[in-house]
Structure 1
Amino acid sequence: MRDYPALHLIIGGEKVGAVGRDTCAVVDPSTGETIGELPLANAADLDSALENAARGFRIWRATAPEKRARVLQDGANLLRERVETIAQMLTREQGKPLPEAKGEILYSANLLDFYAGECKRIYGRTLVRPAGQRAEVRMEPVGPVAAFAPWNFPALNVARKIGAPIAAGCSVIVKPSEETPATGAAVVQCMLDAGLPPEVCQVVFGVPDEVSRHLLGSPIIRKLSFTGSTTVGKHLLKLAAEDMKRTTMELGGHGPVLVFGDMDVDKVLDTMAPNAFRNAGQVCVSPTRFIVEENLFEPFRDGFITRARALKVGNGFDDGVQMGPMANPRGPDQIERMVADAVDHGAKLETGGERIGNQGYFYAPTVLSEVPTSAEIMNEEPFGPVAIINRYADEAAMIAEANRLPYGLAAYAWTNDAARRRRLIDEIEAGMVAINTGGVSAVDAPFGGVKWSGHGSEDGAEGVTACMVLKTVHEA
């Protein structure tokens, strides 16, 4: 058994353990076995975190941009130095293959490096006025941020939640997922070890609704940043509205992939089939609905089935594993129910559709075809290893299907027709669109959605400005 660290909160730079606190079990998704007991913050802990955040904001907003940048850069370098240790924590508690865990941590370090550069690129502007008068537009840090990160990318999501506020001059209280606590705490510890004042970043865990109500009920918190389901996001938006707190919401999706008949089938499949099963499909921008032009449907479907069946599924520590378990027992339960509902509505189960083994939360890579829009899986994000492949007659029908749902996070399209590419870019309703590629994120590009997929952006310069407010000053 690989070592798993003792778990703790981080408040005022101190590691706060389980003594005198309720705890919850942390489980290895490959085995279902308990690997740790996580202390849950009580009301006094949350009040202490808020008090530290208030002090931290006063300290950090007055800190020179060069020092903020240096702390972010040094934190990124510590992530790189500790990648082997943190990656093992990540795979142990979340399940993804170890190479994917290492890649996630290194991407997180690159993001912190980018934010370091943005510390010195926070600009205002001076307005033209008559002689003797002056007007300027200033960008100032919004204040202490309450940030809630999910379990599917436990390093990257925490790096996103803390990197932008720190670059902007804010303090932050971050709540990583209680299911993947060690990774998030390790990311924050890198920042503290890099010289971040202990008041600037706090780590708390707890009963999610209790923590969110306590933090968002405090006037100290000036902004909410949340990544998670649309249902929970709507609930948190209502809490934030009571005090008019600013919000960044990265919510659910149901990624359409438009595949046109002028494409080479293998080229599309070699990119998108692995993308669909990455992290066992537990990715908010996962390609889920494959909208295939009719003349390409059968070879595309057959090629997808072949690739799904060839995937090696197993413990994320084992050599050659391409897909690990789902991260918690809710995942297989939901996928099993949604697949059964799709088949009941007339869908064809082409491969998969079953659990693997008798321990852990493994579910076979699954392909459904000819799924009617009345099936639940066509309307709600599966968030698991399922690809839906349907045929469509023409471009208009394909765009209509892509835009049919109230979600609009990521969308993909494959075509060699330049004029069509421009039409798709104009007409697809999504915050991120990938044309002839499977990638929709980069450290210097905004990451976020439209419609029910949320508002605001993380990453890029926009991630930092989302943690700022404008102040216009007029002088005479």
Structure 2
Amino acid sequence: MTDYPELHLLIDGEPVSGGGRDTEEVIDPATEEVLGTLPHATSDDLDRALEAADRGFRKWRGMSADQRSSILVKAANLLRERAETIGANLSREQGKPLTEGRGEANYSASLLEFYAGECKRLYGRTLVRPEGSRVEVQYHPVGPVAGFAPWNFPAINVMRKIGGPLAAGCSVIVKPSEETPASGIAVVQALLDAGVPGGAVQCVFGVPSTVSEHLLGSPIIRKLTFTGSTPVGKHLAKLAAEDLKIATMELGGHGPVLVFDDTDIDKAIDTMAGNKFRNAGQVCVSPTRFLVQENVFERFRDGFVERAKKLTVGNGLDKGVDIGPMANARGRDNIGRLIADATEHGANLLTGGERIGNRGFFHQPTVLSEVPTDAEIMNEEPFGPVALINPMPGEEAMIEEANRLPYGLAAYAWTDSPARRRRLAAQVEAGMLAINTGGVSAVDAPFGGVKWSGYGSEDGREGVMACMVPKTVHEG
């Protein structure tokens, strides 16, 4: 296994570090040891990146669709070739098991391959008019994009910020999380190595508020794309609105799971337990509130607890580990606070509930049941390895509870009734709904939420069109 890499910015195709720049340490969440030192971009660095993005946009959009597509395919191949190294570094800095880190690198490659094909599928349309006149609808890249990605999926989230804009013909300045920088640098480097112009894809780091205000304050940037918490998303949306920049916002969630008595309960438990504790629950689309029909509640609850108890927690680089550490101390501490509040409100703690050891950010897989709706954890996204399982009288009450919160990212349901599936699809307020499956993400399908979970989409054709603007051309 290779050593953790040297860290740097990538501006106009060049690695940038040193020079007396401010720095911060990157911490291994399993050991709390320092992995590396990350430089912060200066104000001059950000100005240089903005100027390069302006030039890079003109150069990249001027290439043919075939040229851009070929380069993106080459970059996807490079990501696959480097998946082992990217996955190991991702696991070191984020904590998830190595298999998940490797899988993330490969999924990023698949997403980029899809976007490479979309370069050739950017269609306009011609409207029917009397002979001698013509109306044509064209789509053009919006311009340079500023992307801000979080730490929980440090390769995929960076690719989501980059792939759609590049396919549309835009340039991108991406700021990955300072807690997981090596993954984002590796994604950007693969694109540069494949032939994307240096100004068309760049990577910067720094104090998040300073970087975002600097980039979004520039007229060069024409679009914001952000994944993260709802409060931060609201703040960035206000900054973007000052210059009427368009935005794609993928924000927090609190995923409801509606389990009905006409489904395969064992399959539902097996699927959703794996989904719940994946990445230590640090997933924006994580299933969290399990709303179970009363007559199968005890069976589902007991089976879920049994599976949670069998999970192995440890260093993500070790074999046989199901769950790595949480990515940082603040997340682990917040989970402890929310669990304590829930039990004080009368929730039943069925398993877990405690941190593990005194070194690393490990936390036990936790299951709470009969959790009152006034407990914080029923209203605030826990973003950790805790499942909430409550009995419900029937469909109407389950849908009402699913829609109670202002969030609407992902939702899940388990039922064998075709009629109920149609009702759920119509009535559950979410950007993505998974029925009898745990999957809500696919490279060719839009990924995004409603209400406080954001607006706009990444992935799929929609992820490209979100980076384009229409122009109507009338000819007489």
Give matches, 1:246-325, under 5 Å: 246-325=246-325
Kept after mapping to 2: 8 A contact 1:288/1:387: yes
Q: Identity of paired residues, percent?
A: 72
2:21 match = 21
Are 1:42 and 2:42 matched, yes or no? yes
Q: Could you tell me how far apart the structure 2 residues matched to 1:318 and 1:58 are?
A: 46
1:76 match = 76
Kept after mapping to 2: 8 A contact 1:18/1:38: no
**Alpha-carbon shift at residue 262 of structure 1 (Å):** 1.3
**TM-score, with length taken from structure 1:** 0.99
Letter in 1 for 2:244: M
**After superposition, what is the alpha-carbon deviation per residue over 1:413-435, rounded to whole angstroms, capped at 9, x for unaligned?**
00111111111111000000000
2:361 match = 361
Q: Could you tell me how far apart the structure 1 residues matched to 2:83 and 2:18 are?
A: 26
2:94 match = 94
Q: Could you tell me how far apart the structure 1 residues matched to 2:159 and 2:423 are?
A: 35
**Alpha-carbon shift at residue 110 of structure 1 (Å):** 0.4
Letter in 1 for 2:166: I
Secondary structure, counterpart of 1:56 in structure 2: helix
**Alpha-carbon shift at residue 264 of structure 1 (Å):** 2.3
**Alpha-carbon shift at residue 2 of structure 1 (Å):** 5.5
Q: Could you tell me how far apart the structure 2 residues matched to 1:434 and 1:256 are?
A: 11
1:4 match = 4
Q: Could you tell me how far apart the structure 1 residues matched to 2:244 and 2:118 are?
A: 27
Runs of 4+ deviating beyond 3 Å: none
**After superposition, what is the alpha-carbon deviation per residue over 1:58-113, rounded to whole angstroms, capped at 9, x for unaligned?**
11111100011011100000000011111111001000000011111111100000
Secondary structure, counterpart of 2:355 in structure 1: coil
Letter in 2 for 1:75: A
Are 1:456 and 2:452 matched, yes or no? no
Gaps of 5+ in 1: none
Kept after mapping to 1: 8 A contact 2:247/2:456: yes
Q: Could you tell me how far apart the structure 1 residues matched to 2:184 and 2:413 are?
A: 34
**Alpha-carbon shift at residue 265 of structure 1 (Å):** 1.7
1:227 match = 227
Kept after mapping to 2: 8 A contact 1:354/1:364: yes
1:130 match = 130
1:215 match = 215
1:382 match = 382
Are 1:141 and 2:153 matched, yes or no? no
Q: Could you tell me how far apart the structure 2 residues matched to 1:86 and 1:272 are?
A: 27
Kept after mapping to 2: 8 A contact 1:69/1:117: yes
**After superposition, what is the alpha-carbon deviation per residue over 1:238-280, rounded to whole angstroms, capped at 9, x for unaligned?**
0000000000000000000000011222111110001000000
Kept after mapping to 2: 8 A contact 1:269/1:300: yes
Are 1:55 and 2:52 matched, yes or no? no
**Alpha-carbon shift at residue 19 of structure 1 (Å):** 2.7
2:400 match = 400
Q: Could you tell me how far apart the structure 2 residues matched to 1:175 and 1:251 are?
A: 16
Pairs aligned (count): 476
**Alpha-carbon shift at residue 131 of structure 1 (Å):** 1.7
Kept after mapping to 2: 8 A contact 1:261/1:296: yes
Q: Could you tell me how far apart the structure 2 residues matched to 1:19 and 1:362 are?
A: 36
Kept after mapping to 2: 8 A contact 1:170/1:467: yes
Q: Could you tell me how far apart the structure 1 residues matched to 2:160 and 2:18 are?
A: 27
**Range 261-270 or range 457-466, more displaced:** 261-270
Letter in 1 for 2:404: R
Secondary structure, counterpart of 1:212 in structure 2: helix
Letter in 2 for 1:169: G
**After superposition, what is the alpha-carbon deviation per residue over 1:156-198, rounded to whole angstroms, capped at 9, x for unaligned?**
0111111111100000000000000001000110000001111
Q: Could you tell me how far apart the structure 1 residues matched to 2:392 and 2:88 are?
A: 44
Q: Could you tell me how far apart the structure 2 residues matched to 1:35 and 1:416 are?
A: 49
Kept after mapping to 2: 8 A contact 1:314/1:324: yes
**Alpha-carbon shift at residue 446 of structure 1 (Å):** 0.2
2:414 match = 414
Kept after mapping to 2: 8 A contact 1:57/1:143: yes
**Alpha-carbon shift at residue 445 of structure 1 (Å):** 0.2
**Range 146-155 or range 11-20, more displaced:** 11-20
Give matches, 1:143-158, under 5 Å: 143-158=143-158
Kept after mapping to 2: 8 A contact 1:147/1:161: yes
Letter in 1 for 2:205: F
CA RMSD after TM alignment: 0.7
**After superposition, what is the alpha-carbon deviation per residue over 1:370-397, rounded to whole angstroms, capped at 9, x for unaligned?**
0000000000100000000000101100
Kept after mapping to 1: 8 A contact 2:2/2:85: no
2:159 match = 159
Secondary structure, counterpart of 1:333 in structure 2: helix
Q: Could you tell me how far apart the structure 1 residues matched to 2:69 and 2:377 are?
A: 44
Q: Could you tell me how far apart the structure 2 residues matched to 1:18 and 1:417 are?
A: 61
